[in-house]
Amino acid sequence: MPRKQHFETTAIHAGQEFDPSTGSIIPPIYQTSTFVQDGIGGFRGGYEYARGGNPTRTSLETLLAALEGGKHAFSFSSGLAAEDALLRAALEPGDHVVLGNDVYGGTHRLIDKIHSKSGILNDTVEMMDLHAVQKAVVPGKTKILWLETPSNPLMKISDIGELAEIGHAAGAIVVVDNTFASPYLQKPLSLAADVVVHSTTKYLGGHSDVLGGAVVLNDAELASKVGFQQFAAGAVSGPMDAWLTVRGIKTLAVRMDRHSANAQAIAEHLVGHPALDRIYYPGLESHPGHELAKTQMSGFGGMISLGLKAGPKAARKFAESTKVFQLAESLGGVESLIGYPSEMTHASVKGTALEVPDNIIRLSVGIENVDDLIDDLDRALPRR
Ligand SMILES: *Cc1c(COP(=O)(O)O)cnc(C)c1O
């Protein structure tokens, strides 16, 4: 048996065979909507119409499945489009979903505002509290247990293996949004989760130049339902978007190493800063999820949140004062971003149980030189 290929190698080669007709080392971008047939039904390579399949999308899906260690992957035009397809595929009217209480705000909105109209019920729960999760799932009724670890923006770490056990005992599938960690740092399917979803817009794409999403799973029956949603509702990734995402993924490993190293250095530098009452970064030993993160992740990632002692006004001012960290939504790109979740990424959950503290700012630490990043934060933070 050959030894299992390492992640970095797979990230560059899975689904990326050179073009046999020209030798082009990079598979071409199949910028086409349809495929000529050799007589009716005579498809070359199985391709018929690009909503159903396009070789550039296939190359991305092959790569995503290989990286997450799943049998099937489907790519979509955005993370939320991927989540929507999964929810439609897995749920029937009357089914119940249990969500972490700080999942991505758009995920909660999608289920609570849109799928609720088809009779889908939901409850949110603290995923670090296994007893609370046990109480929240309704055997036979709860069909999805949906979690995000590390969570956004409070960087909570929840135990994928334990939660999978609780979900499975109740007859639910366990879905992990792996956007923050990326498959380089965490592989939920190997920890007994059933489905991984991604906003590939973030670390996988990695360059803030493309939107996308993915669903990765092993179960053939659910996979065929997700594939049907992708085809029948049509929120597919276009060839250019799929290609850009593949191009980004090739450097995922080196980028994640640098994101993690920079974030670790920044978090350590800020420990004890008089303007901060809390640093939310799982790489710090003082973080309540540090030990658990060490067991289910191979690094701590590039996301840090900071709580400002002086409250929301100081937090807003800080977010508007950095120069290298640019004020913008999103995360996971090579450039550093700063955001004020309560009015930006998490505005949609204001006034709900998912509301985030208003003294928090969130950093997506990029791969610039860390000294420049530290200087920038030091200059923008209040002195006390
Ligand atoms: C951005 C994000 C999403 C949504 O993805 P889009 O590509 O913006 O639709 C879902 N989950 C997490 C954790 C995200 O950060």
pLDDT recorded at residue 353: 74
Q: Which residues line ligand 1 (CB under 6 A)?
A: 78-80, 104, 106-107, 148, 152, 177, 179-180, 199, 201-202, 211, 213
User: Could you write out the DSSP letters of every residue in 265-307?
Assistant: HHHHHHTT-TTEEEEE-TTSTTSTTHHHHHHH-SS--SEEEEE
- pTM for the model: 0.97
So which residues are the catalytic ones?
51, 104, 177, 202
| 3-class SS string, 59-119 | HHHHHHHHHHCCCEEEEECCHHHHHHHHHHHHCCCCCEEEEECCCCHHHHHHHHHHHHHHC
CATH topology of 7-249 equal to that of 252-380? Answer: no
CA of 46 relative to ligand 1 center, distance in Å: 31
Check if the beta carbon of residue 48 is closer than 8 Å to that of residue 35: yes
- Atom number of ligand 1 nearest to Cα 200: 7
CATH class of 252-380: alpha beta
Query: Where does the pLDDT of residue 269 fall: very low under 50, low under 70, confident under 90, or very high at 90 and above?
Result: very high
CATH 3.40.640.10 fits 7-249, yes or no: yes
Which two tokens mark 365? 């630490």
Domain regions of the chain by residue span: 7-249, 252-380
Q: Tens digit of pLDDT for each residue in 270-292?
A: 999 999 999 999 999 999 999 99
Average pLDDT, stretch 40-66?
96
Q: How far is CA 319 from CA 61, 118, 138, 327, 347, in A?
A: 37, 39, 41, 7, 16
Task: Give the residue-averaged pLDDT of 143-168.
Answer: 97
Residue owning the nearest CA to atom 5 of ligand 1: 79
The closest-lying atom of ligand 1 relative to the alpha carbon of residue 332 is 15
Name the residue of 75, 76, 80 to mutate for ligand 1: max ligand atoms within 8 A of Cβ: 80
Tell me the one-letter amino acid at 60: L
What atom of ligand 1 comes closest to residue 81's alpha carbon?
Answer: 9
CA 301 – ligand 1 centroid, Å: 16
Tokens 């090739």 belong to residue: 250
CA distance 267 to 278: 10
Q: Looking at ligand 1, which residue's alpha carbon is closest to its atom 2?
A: 199
Q: Give the Cβ contact number of residue 140 at 10 Å.
A: 10
- Whether residue 30 has pLDDT greater than 90: yes
**One-letter amino acid identity for 177?**
D
pLDDT score of 1: 60
